[in-house]
């Protein structure tokens, strides 16, 4: 027994001390784990590429759900489309998801899409050590602003003062064509208070005959252009609705007058606006020329405009667009801010109390002030208007929601100004959202 033990000990010592063949032995021992690591790297690389494809498919689905083409659809319809897109993308990539969850939700202002998905790949090398598949997952999300729905109520001042020549050249032409050098194209219906003879030689008729444009012509053209701008600016159908009003077709019946009721058919609004014209006067000096009732008309406007909504399709925001030269001329014997004349006739800048009432309800007001021009050769103007003319613009600006006031002089482009206010209004809706 002792001899056998000693031999075993000597053989083991010789094996340990023998350096021949060590490299081969070590390599053989290291080969299995080395191949395992290399194989695992290959399998992980395949899994990484597959995960990148999964992420791309999920991202595409999220972008589809929030795309402009989907905004007009319900959230559930957009969600269904997103799932279909994801499935199609995965099929095209030769992959199948083991699970996928896509949710699309709408708030008043935002559509949000979220998605999670998982998949597996079959391993080539890791299966040797028991890992037949590798699993991975991906997350993605996207959001888009929903369009803000807005109702625009447009109030146009068509009172006699809007018969002034549209530009400096038009004013000069009208003054040169009239015996009393008048810059206003008064629109008298009859020659006298008897109302027996129609007036065929009014300054309005003269301006038309000579091709002289009046300010009311530019206001009408600008408002028609506004409907085109609104149509072109819509992100979805029926996003904007519009109603148009004047202060009355005749001084004998001053009051809020509907040119076009609120409608999403902006083309029909444009057609209706063609009827906007200068207010007629039954005869010269009718009712002491009191034809501009801002207080009454804006009060009527306040009751006409419903409570503003949150901008969703079922509850639009409300805007009042007010285009005027800002001078009231009506019977306000006890409330006039200036000295009354002719038994209660009040000429004054716009009073802003009713504007404040409208704004307090959440209605936003955009004001386009068509400057009340200085007619220095007119004694009435120099006596009753000139002393406070500088305050007209200030009052008009106070009526407007902060930041939504524009003044245009006689030679400025009313259409550009009105469209600029509109673009600013719809931009504000998006920023608010």
Return the axis-axis angle of helices 266-273 and 215-233, rounded to nearest 10°: 170
Burial class, 135, CB count within 10 angstroms (exposed 0-12 / middle 13-18 / buried 19+): exposed
Last residue of a domain, one of 119, 145, 171: 145
* H-helix segments, 21-167: 22-65, 68-71, 75-92
Distance, CA of 55 to CA of 61 (rounded, Å): 10
pLDDT band for position 86 (cuts 50, 70, 90): very high
pLDDT band for position 115 (cuts 50, 70, 90): very high
Residue 111 lies in a domain: yes
Tell which wins on pLDDT, 368 or 127.
368
Whether residue 337 is found in the same domain as residue 393 = yes
Task: Please name the residue that has the structure tokens 């001329």.
Answer: 329
* Residues 240-273 pLDDT 10s: 999 999 999 999 999 999 999 999 999 999 999 9
Min mean pLDDT across 14-18, 127-131, 214-218, 272-276 is at: 14-18
Whether residue 344 is found in the same domain as residue 414 = yes
pLDDT band for position 433 (cuts 50, 70, 90): very low
Averaged pLDDT, 326-343: 94
**What average pLDDT does the chain have?**
89
Query: E strand or H helix at 358, and its extent?
Result: helix 353-360
SS3 163: helix
Q: Which residues contact 58 (CB under 8 A, 6 or more apart)?
A: 86, 100, 115, 116, 117, 138, 139, 140
Whether residue 74 is found in the same domain as residue 45 = yes
Residue 5 lies in a domain: no
Averaged pLDDT, 163-185: 92
pLDDT band for position 45 (cuts 50, 70, 90): confident
pLDDT band for position 345 (cuts 50, 70, 90): very high
Whether residue 213 is found in the same domain as residue 70 = no
What is the phi/psi pair of residue 240, to 5°?
Answer: -120, 135
Structural domain boundaries enclosing 327? 150-430
Min mean pLDDT across 18-22, 218-222, 311-315 is at: 18-22
Whether residue 305 is found in the same domain as residue 407 = yes
Look up the pTM and report it: 0.79
Residue 164 bridge partners (DSSP): 184
pLDDT band for position 431 (cuts 50, 70, 90): very low
Whether residue 130 is found in the same domain as residue 163 = no
Last residue of a domain, one of 145, 160, 177: 145
Domain count, the chain: 2
Last residue of a domain, one of 116, 145, 174: 145
* Residues 191-206 pLDDT 10s: 899 888 999 989 999 9
The answer to whether 154 and 243 are in contact (CB under 8 A) is yes
CATH of the domain at 173: 3.40.50.410
By residue count, the chain amounts to: 433
Report CA torsion sign: 235, 237, 238, 243. Answer: positive
Q: So what's the pLDDT on residue 368?
A: 98
2 pLDDT above the threshold of 90: no
Distance, CA of 193 to CA of 280 (rounded, Å): 14
SS3 134: strand
Q: Select the highest-mean-pLDDT range: 79-93, 295-309, 407-421.
A: 295-309
26 pLDDT above the threshold of 70: no
């Amino acid at each position: 027994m002792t001899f056998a033990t000693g031999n075993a000990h000597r053989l083991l010592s010789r094996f340990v001390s023998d350096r021949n063949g060590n490299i081969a032995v070590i390599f053989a021992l290291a080969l299995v784990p080395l191949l395992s690591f290399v194989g695992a790297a290959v399998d992980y690389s395949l899994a990484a590429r597959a995960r990148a494809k999964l992420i791309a498919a999920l991202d595409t689905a999220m972008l589809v759900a929030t795309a402009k083409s989907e905004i007009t659809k319900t959230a559930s319809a957009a969600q269904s489309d997103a799932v279909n897109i994801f499935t199609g993308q995965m099929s095209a990539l030769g992959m199948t998801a083991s699970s996928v969850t896509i949710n699309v939700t709408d708030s008043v202002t935002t559509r949000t899409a979220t998605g999670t998905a998982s998949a597996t790949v079959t391993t080539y090398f890791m299966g040797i050590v028991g890992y037949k598949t590798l699993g991975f997952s991906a997350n993605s999300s996207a959001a888009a602003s929903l369009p803000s729905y807005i109702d625009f109520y447009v109030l146009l001042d068509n009172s006699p003062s809007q018969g002034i020549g549209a530009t400096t050249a038009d004013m000069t032409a009208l003054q040169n064509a009239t015996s009393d050098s008048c810059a206003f194209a008064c629109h008298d219906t009859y020659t006298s208070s008897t109302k027996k003879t129609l007036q065929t030689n009014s300054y309005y008729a003269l301006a038309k005959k000579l091709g002289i444009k009046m300010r009311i012509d530019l206001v009408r053209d600008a408002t028609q252009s506004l409907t085109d701008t609104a149509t072109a600016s819509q992100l979805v159908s029926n996003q904007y609705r519009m109603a148009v009003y004047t202060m009355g077709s005749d001084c004998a019946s001053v009051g809020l007058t509907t040119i076009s009721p609120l409608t999403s058919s902006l083309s029909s609004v444009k057609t209706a606006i063609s009827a906007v014209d200068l207010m007629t006067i039954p005869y010269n000096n009718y009712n002491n020329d009191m034809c501009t009732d801002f207080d009454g008309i804006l009060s009527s406007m306040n009751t006409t405009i419903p409570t503003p909504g949150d901008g969703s399709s079922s509850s639009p925001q409300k805007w009042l667009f007010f285009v005027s030269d800002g001078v009231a001329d009506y019977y306000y014997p006890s409330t006039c801010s200036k000295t009354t004349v002719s038994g209660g006739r009040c000429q004054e800048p716009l009073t802003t109390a009713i504007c404040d009432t409208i704004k307090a309800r959440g209605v936003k007001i955009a004001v386009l002030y068509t400057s009340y021009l200085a007619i220095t050769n007119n004694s009435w103007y120099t006596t009753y208007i000139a002393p406070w003319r500088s305050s007209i613009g200030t009052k008009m600006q106070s009526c407007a929601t902060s930041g939504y006031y524009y003044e245009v002089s006689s030679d400025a482009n009313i259409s550009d100004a009105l469209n600029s206010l509109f673009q600013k209004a719809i931009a504000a809706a998006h920023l608010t959202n």
